């Protein structure tokens, strides 16, 4: 079992002030794979003090200096790429191929993109030719970064890299149930030679370190990715200090499959939902199918779901692994059972463990048909390999059903009619709309409407989240 009880504060790995051990569980076998320490208020204060002190000099560094350090970090990341893939696979049960090709690759891709965006970003600009006003973009200050377990290094890179790039200092709290990748990233940052105090890591849970970060008077901004419930609590905790709060929260995406969609639209939609064991906030967990193709679509969906294998993370292949924890497992099973009790038709999968897997948090790819948008499985974010199929008659009805949710992160639509695709995309109330299986490019903005959050991550939008805007008059007379 890995001993990961130290924190990274002010350029050193230090012991926690108070001993509070916490076992990290391997979701494939339910056994401890590492032990960390949950931080105290004193540990958070120590990290904040280091970041506040470091900010005074780090904010003055040139863009060229920060680019050089980020490029060094990228080189180290690539060198230790396989270590990162193994860490993610261990802590969240991601199959090695998925952990390598998707999870770990996302961290590399974000680092590369932020370096490019930083090179092209102007931190000063004149308002216009006739004006004597000058616009300056300045680092907001000390940032608290709270990241989730489902895309660990992806979300860490989306926060840490732009904070570095803009001249901010930071305290990172990775998820306590998947902290190993974050601690490995801290080793890389140390190896790259970032100045002491610029980056700090304190492990902990939301009630403890998370609350300390969100309410701390010397933290100028909180960037959080996680559940909508936790996002509300963070916003309330941050209110007294009027700090900036950037939230990337839950989702309940709809995937509209029109009768004129491309051949494999339904099968691709199933694969999309089930990837990462259904643990993606923008997963299209409601599939809306035009009635004229509903029967065929259901057959294809069930067939595809039954083809998806569930197996151990250590095995190679395109199978899915377990969900992250007993808490998540119990929640998902409860929602599957609610779908059955509310009258939806269980067409594939179900609450039983997959064949041959008697230990671990494994769940069969599950499909419900005859679903209405009032059922719990259609309204609540399940965060597991579970899909609801809902029929519709008209374009307007499909849009209405998709938008009938408190969330608004990612929605999807499938049609060969380009005009219809553009028309419907504009009507969907979400931060991202994916047409015909096309993925978002690295560097484009990611975030949501309404209870899916209020910030944008990635590219230049990710940089501006960490910047204050200053207008200086009389710049030229």
Q: Bridge-partner residues for 247, per DSSP?
A: 224
Q: Bridge-partner residues for 14, per DSSP?
A: 7
Rounded Cα distance between 142 and 19, Å, is 26
Q: In what order do the strands lie in the sheet with 2-4?
A: 2-4, 31-37, 21-26
CB atoms within 10 A of CB 379: 16
Q: Which helix (H) or strand (E) holds 422?
A: helix 418-427
- Given 168, 246, 281, 432, the catalytic residue: 281
**143 part of the active site:** no
E strand residue ranges, 82-180: 124-126, 134-139, 142-146, 169-173
To which residue do tokens 């060094």 refer?
Answer: 72
For 21, the 3-state DSSP assignment is: strand
- Given 112, 176, 248, 290, the catalytic residue: 248
Contact 265, 287 (CB under 8 A): no
Nearest to 442 by CA among 67, 223, 158: 158
Instruction: Looking at 286-325, list the stretches that DSSP marks H as alpha helix, in order from N- to C-terminal side.
Output: 294-307
Q: Which helix (H) or strand (E) holds 25?
A: strand 21-26
Q: Which long-range contacts (CB under 8 A, 24 or more apart) does 187-191 make?
A: 188/73, 188/76, 188/77, 188/80, 189/8, 189/73, 189/160, 190/8, 190/11, 191/76
The structure tokens listed for 126 are: 């004149």
Q: What is the CA radius of gyration of the chain?
A: 23
Rounded Cα distance between 412 and 409, Å, is 10
For 218, the 3-state DSSP assignment is: coil
**281 part of the active site:** yes
**Packing angle between helix 63-79 and helix 81-92, nearest 10 degrees?**
70
Rounded Cα distance between 238 and 50, Å, is 20
Nearest to 310 by CA among 349, 254, 344, 282: 349
DSSP 8-state symbol, 34 = E
**DSSP letter string over 423-471?**
HHHHHS-SSEEEETTPPPPTTS-B--SGGGBS--BSHHHHHHTTEEEEE
Rounded Cα distance between 385 and 378, Å, is 13
- Positive or negative, the CA dihedral 312, 314, 316, 317 is positive
Instruction: Please give the distance of CA 102 from its chain centroid, rounded to a whole number.
Output: 13
Residues designated as active site: 248, 281
């Amino acid at each position: 079992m890995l001993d990961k009880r130290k924190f990274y504060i002010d350029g050193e790995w230090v012991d926690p002030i108070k001993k509070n051990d916490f076992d990290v569980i391997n979701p494939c076998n339910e056994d401890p794979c590492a032990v960390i320490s949950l931080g105290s208020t004193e540990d958070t204060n120590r990290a904040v003090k280091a970041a506040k002190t470091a900010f005074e000099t780090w904010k003055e560094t040139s863009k060229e200096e920060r680019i050089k350090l980020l490029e060094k970090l990228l080189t180290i990341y690539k060198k230790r790429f396989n270590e990162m893939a193994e860490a993610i696979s261990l802590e969240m049960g991601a199959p090695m191929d998925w952990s390598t090709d998707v999870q770990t690759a996302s961290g590399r891709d974000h680092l590369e993109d932020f370096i490019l965006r930083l090179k092209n970003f102007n931190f000063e600009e004149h308002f216009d030719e006739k004006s004597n006003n000058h616009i300056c973009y300045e680092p907001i200050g000390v940032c608290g970064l709270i990241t989730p377990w489902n895309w660990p290094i992806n979300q860490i890179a989306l926060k840490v890299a732009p904070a570095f790039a803009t001249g901010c200092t930071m305290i990172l709290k990775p998820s306590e149930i998947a902290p190993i990748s974050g601690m490995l990233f801290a080793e890389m940052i140390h190896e790259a030679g970032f100045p002491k105090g610029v980056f700090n890591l304190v492990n902990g849970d939301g009630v403890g370190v998370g609350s300390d970060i969100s309410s701390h008077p010397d933290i100028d901004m909180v960037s959080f990715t996680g559940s909508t419930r936790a996002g509300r609590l963070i916003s309330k905790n941050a209110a007294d200090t009027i700090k900036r709060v950037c939230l990337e929260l839950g989702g309940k995406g709809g995937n509209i499959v029109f009768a004129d969609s491309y051949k494999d639209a339904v099968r691709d939609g199933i694969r999309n939902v089930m990837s990462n064991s259904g643990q993606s906030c923008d997963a299209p967990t409601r599939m809306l199918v035009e009635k004229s193709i509903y029967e065929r679509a259901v057959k294809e969906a069930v067939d595809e779901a039954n083809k998806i294998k569930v197996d151990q993370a250590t095995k190679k292949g395109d199978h899915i692994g377990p969900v992250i924890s007993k808490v998540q497992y119990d929640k998902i099973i409860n929602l599957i059972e609610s779908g059955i009790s509310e009258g939806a038709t269980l067409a594939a999968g179900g609450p039983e463990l997959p064949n041959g897997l008697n230990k671990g948090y494994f769940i069969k790819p599950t499909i419900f048909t005859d679903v209405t948008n009032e059922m719990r499985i259609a309204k609540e974010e399940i965060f597991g390999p579970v899909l609801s199929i809902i029929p519709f008659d008209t374009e307007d009805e499909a849009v209405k059903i998709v938008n009938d949710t408190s969330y608004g992160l990612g929605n999807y639509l499938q049609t060969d009619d380009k005009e219809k695709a553009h028309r419907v995309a504009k009507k969907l109330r979400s931060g991202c709309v994916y047409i015909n299986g096309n993925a978002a490019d690295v560097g484009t903005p990611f975030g949501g409407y309404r209870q899916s959050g209020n910030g944008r991550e990635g590219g230049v939008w990710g940089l501006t989240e960490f910047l204050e805007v200053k207008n200086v008059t009389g710049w030229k007379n």
